[in-house]
Structure 1
Amino acid sequence: MKWQGRRGSANIEDRRSQRGGGKALGVSGFGAIALLLAGWYFGIDVTPLLQGGGQSVQTTGELSEREQALGDFVSVTLADTEEIWTTIFADELGRRYNPVTLVLFSQVTASPCGNASGATGPFYCPGDKKVYLDTAFFDTLSRQLGAGGDFAYAYVVAHEVAHHVQDELGILSKVNAIRARASAAESNALSVRIELQADCLSGVWASHAAEMFDSLEPGDVAEAMNAAEKIGDDTLQRNAGRRPMPDSFTHGTSEQRQRWFAQGFESGDIGTCDTFSARSL
């Protein structure tokens, strides 16, 4: 992905100088990986299992060279989403797009949706309309899940921004209201449709990025597709040592996530991302 030297976003809230403290409990290696996978899948903050109780905050004031580079990368990627979704909203929907704020943090930070941490993974919070991202997640994605590459990271950012797009369109609030009254299985099924639509919208973003900025390089789409495969519910459950249970899926299978991303990318049209009307996902 060609991103160096390009415009960054002004909608970045960088909290990485504040780092969560606490004693480590000695959970490491595959044990830590299994806990993280379980946390991402079930939406549970497993930070207390990875660190001691009584979270403290340390202020370092300095970022490593890699942290700075990742922050710059996220800022450029976010700027791309702003230009693309502003254009799509204006040209195709006849309305204004209100950009999302992206919070960069290290280890743990507070949000209206609960603690954001490396154990919960990146997420969008409708409560304050912000995306929360610990850039250390990119290292986990690459080293532990086998989904490296800058465009795999861009896909993660674009997916979370896509949830804000859903929020802007009124989709997220309507579906979440229905989920609140539904059974666990029905709620999970609706969650899958939300997430697959976000994957499709990520593909739409990638398609427009290639056209507007000429930023995609050979192999970039393959990196995003590989990331979509590695974070499918069935794959995550297997990697956590569990048998895949479709009724408990909240994001979709690896195949579904890849297919919906590809659909958005190949069409470049948000109209192809209506997962809620699709008979088959």
Structure 2
Amino acid sequence: MVSPSPDAGAGFWSERPGFVQRLGLSASFTLCVGLAAVGFTGFLATSEMLAPAQASWSGAHPLGAGGPDPEPTTAEAPLTDTGGDPLLDNALYEVGELGEVTCVVPELDADDPASMEAFVHAVADCLDQAWSAYFAEAGLEFTSPNRVYWYAEGHSPCGPFPKEDTAAFYCQANQGLYLGVEDIVSASAGADRPEAYTFLLSHEYGHHVQGQSRMLAEFRSDRAEADPETADELTRRNELQADCLGGVFLGASGASLDLGARERANILDDVARRSDHGAERTHGQASSARLWTEHGMDRRDPAACNTWKADGELVR
């Protein structure tokens, strides 16, 4: 195993909640993350030793380019028993609005990788703060995701990265929030708008929220037994809920992030750009993605993100 270096420039480093890897010239790296015994996995050794697990992939066009990898072969027990159906009647729906969140983020220079890394770290810090407090209020256990920010090719339990048009993804197997510090710029057409990157990270964090509240485990169980058409619909409900949960965070933190009408329009345009196109049927049409993202921003309540109860017309 490669030991983290105290010098960020040396290639590898770790800091802040979770486990952060910075990649240097090496084309792959080793992750060792000790998780709780009741977590999604017991212990993560080298990624090549584990079967590919499910990931939510976020790229330029569409969001989730490449689709989820095969289901893991290892058992993954839920972190918390929330009671009732985890999708339809989750305890996360009972708390109410996510309270106002104050985020302190640095100025962003999208052309400077160091600036981008500092920016996404600050946004992730704010996401940790907001959702950990919300889970505590709901009486649910919560562990912040492991942050893995890449600069070069590597492997996760969910497969190699980057994939074509892939900028970020969430890997349930090790609760890893993966993000290509330089790739997210090219995947966003070189946008210099901070709100585009904030939402991308918030969407992937939404999958972590689903995982911590047992929704991902239930979704995967249901999808495994479904026919292809139904499986695609379940996947859309899952992705659109992550859009909505990302919107909830932006709605709650928008004042501190200076998200006005112009920034809101940019976010919705970016969401539409990353939605399903052509034969892709796993992330929702542009109209659906915009609807759920905007709904989350307006309501600021995870209960408003219950896509599992929504009419089929709203999750196309």
Q: TM-score, normalised by structure 2?
A: 0.66
Identify the match of residue 43 of structure 1 among 45, 67, 82: 67
Answering whether residue 128 of structure 2 is matched by residue 82 of structure 1, we say yes
Task: Tell me the matched-pair count.
Answer: 227
Answering whether residue 70 of structure 2 is matched by residue 70 of structure 1, we say no
User: What is the CA-CA distance between 1:137 and the residue it aligns to?
Assistant: 2.7
- SS in structure 1 at match of 2:309: coil
- SS in structure 2 at match of 1:20: coil
Q: Report the residue type matching 2:212 in the other structure.
A: E
Moved more, 131-140 or 269-278: 131-140
- SS in structure 1 at match of 2:170: strand
Aligned to 1:259: 291
Q: Report the residue type matching 1:278 in the other structure.
A: A
Contact 1:162 1:202 in 2 (8 A): yes
Q: Report the residue type matching 1:106 in the other structure.
A: Y
Q: Report the residue type matching 2:123 in the other structure.
A: T
Aligned to 1:122: 168
Moved more, 95-104 or 11-20: 11-20
Mapping 1:48-63, distance limit 5 Å: none
Aligned to 1:112: 157
Answering whether residue 203 of structure 2 is matched by residue 159 of structure 1, we say yes
Report Cα offsets for 1:162-217 as digits up to 9, x if no partner. Answer: 10000001000111112122222221111100000000000111111125xx2224
Identify the match of residue 257 of structure 2 among 207, 215, 219: 215
- SS in structure 2 at match of 1:133: strand
**RMSD over aligned Cα, in angstroms?**
2.6
Structure 1: give runs of 5+ residues left out of the alignment. 1-7, 22-34, 46-63, 235-243
- Measured in 1, the distance between the counterparts of 2:239 and 2:19 equals 23
- Measured in 2, the distance between the counterparts of 1:40 and 1:270 equals 22
Contact 2:60 2:187 in 1 (8 A): no
Aligned to 2:40: none
Contact 1:104 1:132 in 2 (8 A): yes
Q: Higher helix fraction: Structure 1 or Structure 2? A: 1
User: What is the CA-CA distance between 1:157 and the residue it aligns to?
Assistant: 0.5
- The verdict on how the C-alpha distance between 1:209 and 1:72 changes in structure 2, with shifts beyond 3 A counting, is same
- Measured in 2, the distance between the counterparts of 1:86 and 1:138 equals 26
User: What is the CA-CA distance between 1:276 and the residue it aligns to?
Assistant: 0.5
User: What is the CA-CA distance between 1:66 and the residue it aligns to?
Assistant: 1.0
Mapping 1:1-281, distance limit 5 Å: 9-11=16-18, 13-20=20-27, 37=61, 40-43=64-67, 66-91=112-137, 93-119=138-164, 120-143=166-189, 148-210=192-254, 214-218=256-260, 219-234=262-277, 244-245=278-279, 248-279=280-311, 280-281=313-314
Q: TM-score, normalised by structure 1?
A: 0.73
- Measured in 1, the distance between the counterparts of 2:221 and 2:68 equals 21
